[in-house]
Structure 1
Amino acid sequence: MPQLITTAEQLFFNSIDDLSSMPLPTDVLMVRPLHYSVDYVINPHMANQVGKVDTTEAHKEWKMVRSLFDRIGLNVRIIEDQDGLPDMVFCANQSLPYINEEDHRHVFMSIMHAEQRKKEVPYFEQWYRQNGHEIHYLDERKIENFEGCGDAIWHSGRRLLWGGYGHRSSLDAYQTISDTFNVPVITLELADETFYHLDTCFCVLDEHTALIYPEAFTEHGLELIHAVFNRVIEAAEYEAEELFACNACCPDGRNVIIQQGCTDVNKKLQDAGFSVHEVSTSEFLKSGGSVFCMKMLLW
């Protein structure tokens, strides 16, 4: 069976139910935003935002996101951020964790695209070592970049990975990940630099439902998404681009934590049976991130 899937014709399963199950995450890792700010521009959302973060408000928003994960029932674990690494709070990017069928915990460390963020990775590697994960690395001589769960998103409850590429992660990275974890990877090329990570335009809600911004994908990518998910909820341009609607997080297949004000998307989510928890992440939007970027789901 093909482990790296780039077109709908390569799908080897008739239904997502044909794939091996994987436990839902039990823990969430977050990084305190004590040193968070916009000090440089490495994505379109950061333009004109340098020096404009209200740090007091950012900390309030972060604590509210943390409290929502706690309310949903996840075990919140904390890493302290570091001076000089203002984007470390976006802890979806530095790694890709995995739990295998023997319940052994593994993690691939990222190769960050921007030079400003490369020094973040060792702090996460140290945390994973201290918490019993087997560490894996990509070959930097062959693979230019890979930004963890910003682009690599696990299908809810299944051993299937969705892999975005084109802006922050290299397509070649997914072959190594697929071979190491022995899981299929469906690759999605990102077509718009405004949606620079997969998690800005694609949110897995449960096994059969995804939330997407369709204009961020190629025709092949949209075919793959619609071939696998029975229900695809679409976000309109304003809510996707300005409010990061698709950067929501649904860790348990029921509860969706999302930036406040996504009126149209929230109605669609509620009509589909999801519980919606709105939260302000306005200070983090200045850096091009929201709820999904601010956490790492773990087992």
Structure 2
Amino acid sequence: MQGPAVPRVPTPRHYLMCPPQYFAVDYSINPWMDPAQPVSAKIALAQWTRLRDTYRRLGHAVEEIEPQPGLPDMVFAANSGTVVDGRVLGARFRASQRTAEAEHFRRWFTEHGYRDLTMPEKVNEAEGDLVWTGRVLLAGTGFRTDPAAHAEAQEVLGVPVVSLQLVDARYYHLDTALFVLAEATDSADAQIAYYPAAFSPGSQRVLRRLFPDAVLATAADAECFGLNGVSDGRNVVLPLEARATGLGEQLVRRGYEPVYLDISELRKAGGGPKCCTLEIRK
């Protein structure tokens, strides 16, 4: 049952991002990537810059890591670490083309004073598949992150983990099929949006039980990467196309304020707003 619109309060966030200076689609490691399709690093950088500047306009802190040649997907910083209460769990990529990214991000965290840092033994694509709700960590598997990485994340981060099975290869990371609109607090439960068909029947039942008031997205919402959104509890950054799918209207009815941005060039590599955004929770 849809909840009534209530006043939403934004919370200042701390993000780490990587400029797409070397953006390209030279290989295909997800269904959205087509090396035969032209891409523009210039356009990608302009779209990324608007995303970064939007976060800052909304009152959020944004730090940047230096991009590295030969790592065109480094722009998708969310895949490179999970930070909860200052504890950092690094990444271990499944695709060989991205393996080297993990060390650059590990070095960044070390150089910026994060001492409680663990590099995983299991394949773990970080916030791509690990989504913090404020009380539990939702953990995706099926295409990238190893199921055994979920137990490793629970041990390292010290938070309860709920495993979810992804079944549609187009939504290969959890953050392409689900995102948190409002984190759980002492006085309120978390609220999420998700695309049910991206999950196994059992995982759909788990989500319905945990989040009975969730925003349920349509296929059209998911196909434009509308579930790869970023919310601060009131302002929700979404791909421009989500204005036409109905997702934005659902959010407005819940009291959220959609902020639409063009991420079309970045989507050619299978990424959206959240993919570009690693949240640092101290």
1:214-253 alignment to 2 at 5 Å? 214-241=196-223, 243-250=224-231, 252-253=232-233
Output the TM-score relative to the length of structure 2. 0.89
Measure the CA separation in 1 of the matches of 2:163 and 2:148.
10
Name the SS for the 1:44 alignment partner.
coil
**Alignment correspondent of 1:93:** 79
Number of residue pairs aligned between Structure 1 and Structure 2: 262
> Cα 1:123–1:271, aligned 2, differ >3 Å: closer, same or farther?
same
Measure the CA separation in 2 of the matches of 1:280 and 1:180.
36
2:8 matches 1:41: no
**Which consecutive aligned stretches of 4+ in structure 1 deviate over 6 angstroms post-superposition?**
none
Measure the CA separation in 2 of the matches of 1:193 and 1:186.
20
Deviation at 1:50, TM superposition (A): 4.1
**Alignment correspondent of 2:127:** 149
The answer on whether the counterparts of 2:68 and 2:74 sit within 8 Å (CA) in structure 1 is yes
* Equivalent in 139, 142, 160 of residue 184 of structure 1: 160
Q: Please give the per-residue CA displacement for 1:110-136, whole angstroms capped at 9, x wherever unaligned.
A: 110100000111110011001121211
Measure the CA separation in 1 of the matches of 2:111 and 2:222.
37
**Alignment correspondent of 1:259:** 239
The answer on whether the counterparts of 1:39 and 1:51 sit within 8 Å (CA) in structure 2 is no
Deviation at 1:183, TM superposition (A): 1.1
Name the SS for the 2:203 alignment partner.
helix
Q: Please give the per-residue CA displacement for 1:55-98, whole angstroms capped at 9, x wherever unaligned.
A: 22111101110011111111110111111000000000011112
2:17 matches 1:30: yes
Name the SS for the 2:56 alignment partner.
helix
**Which runs of no fewer than 5 residues in structure 1 stay unpaired?**
1-23, 100-104
Measure the CA separation in 2 of the matches of 1:106 and 1:39.
34
Q: Please give the per-residue CA displacement for 1:29-55, whole angstroms capped at 9, x wherever unaligned.
A: 1101110111100000003x4461122
Measure the CA separation in 2 of the matches of 1:50 and 1:177.
37
The answer on whether the counterparts of 1:40 and 1:50 sit within 8 Å (CA) in structure 2 is no
1:93-112 alignment to 2 at 5 Å? 93-99=79-85, 105-112=86-93
The answer on whether the counterparts of 1:189 and 1:218 sit within 8 Å (CA) in structure 2 is yes
* Equivalent in 125, 128, 131 of residue 106 of structure 2: 125
**Alignment correspondent of 2:4:** none
**Alignment correspondent of 2:6:** none
The answer on whether the counterparts of 1:41 and 1:50 sit within 8 Å (CA) in structure 2 is no
Measure the CA separation in 2 of the matches of 1:266 and 1:229.
19
- Once structures 1 and 2 are overlaid, which stretch shifts more, 176-185 or 113-122? 176-185
Measure the CA separation in 2 of the matches of 1:231 and 1:209.
7
Residue identity (%): 32
Measure the CA separation in 2 of the matches of 1:273 and 1:38.
38
Q: Please give the per-residue CA displacement for 1:132-185, whole angstroms capped at 9, x wherever unaligned.
A: 21211222xxx3x11000000100xx2310000110001111112212222110
Deviation at 1:239, TM superposition (A): 2.6
Output the TM-score relative to the length of structure 1. 0.85
Measure the CA separation in 2 of the matches of 1:46 and 1:131.
33
> Cα 1:149–1:130, aligned 2, differ >3 Å: closer, same or farther?
same
Deviation at 1:27, TM superposition (A): 0.9
* Equivalent in 45, 61, 74 of residue 60 of structure 2: 74
**Alignment correspondent of 2:187:** none
* Equivalent in 110, 113, 137 of residue 94 of structure 2: 113
Measure the CA separation in 2 of the matches of 1:220 and 1:27.
34
> Cα 1:130–1:159, aligned 2, differ >3 Å: closer, same or farther?
farther
The answer on whether the counterparts of 2:139 and 2:150 sit within 8 Å (CA) in structure 1 is yes
Name the SS for the 1:29 alignment partner.
strand
2:176 matches 1:200: yes
Deviation at 1:26, TM superposition (A): 2.9
2:272 matches 1:286: no
* Equivalent in 46, 49, 58 of residue 44 of structure 2: 58
Amino acid at match of 1:181: L
